[in-house]
């Protein structure tokens, strides 16, 4: 009926459980660090066309009028100008 993987160890061993927990905590920490670096403290976002400082909420560069974000033609959600596909409806966006 129930196979117990042939003996001691597995997830019931306190040692490997601790190791797994440690691994999960480390992954969470790394993710949090990455997120922090992306979200705050990093360099201000720059316009890809003129390099001017722009706000992440801007749809268009106030310096050179380059489109920073656009609207998906299918579902009209705001998409980044670097994206190829709309994450909401998978339509192709920013076609050249
Ligand atoms: Zn610009
Ligand atoms: Zn869409």
Length of the chain, in residues: 96
| Ligand 1 center–CA 68 separation, angstroms | 8
Q: Which tokens in the block code for residue 41?
A: 């403290």
In this prediction, residue 19 carries a pLDDT of 85
Write out the residues surrounding ion ligand 2, Cβ under 5 A.
72, 74-75, 86, 88-89, 91
Average pLDDT, the chain: 80
When mean pLDDT is compared across 9-13, 16-20, 23-27, 55-59, the lowest value belongs to 9-13
Residue extents of the structural domains in the chain: 10-39, 45-96
CA distance 74 to 71: 9
The gap from C-alpha 88 to its chain's centroid, in whole angstroms, comes to: 15
Q: Which tokens in the block code for residue 33?
A: 């660090």
Helix ranges restricted to H, the chain = 14-39
Q: 9 pLDDT exceeds 70? A: no
The reported pTM is: 0.44
Give mean pLDDT, residues 37-53.
Answer: 77
């Amino acid at each position: 009926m129930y196979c117990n993987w042939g003996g001691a160890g597995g997830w019931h061993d306190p040692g490997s459980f601790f190791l797994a927990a440690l691994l999960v905590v480390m992954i969470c920490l790394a993710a949090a660090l990455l997120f922090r670096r992306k979200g705050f403290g990093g360099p201000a976002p720059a316009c890809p066309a003129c390099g001017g400082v722009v706000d992440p909420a801007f749809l268009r560069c106030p310096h050179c009028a380059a489109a920073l974000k656009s609207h998906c033609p299918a579902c009209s959600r705001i998409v980044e100008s670097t994206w190829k596909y709309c994450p909401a409806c998978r339509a192709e966006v920013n076609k050249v």
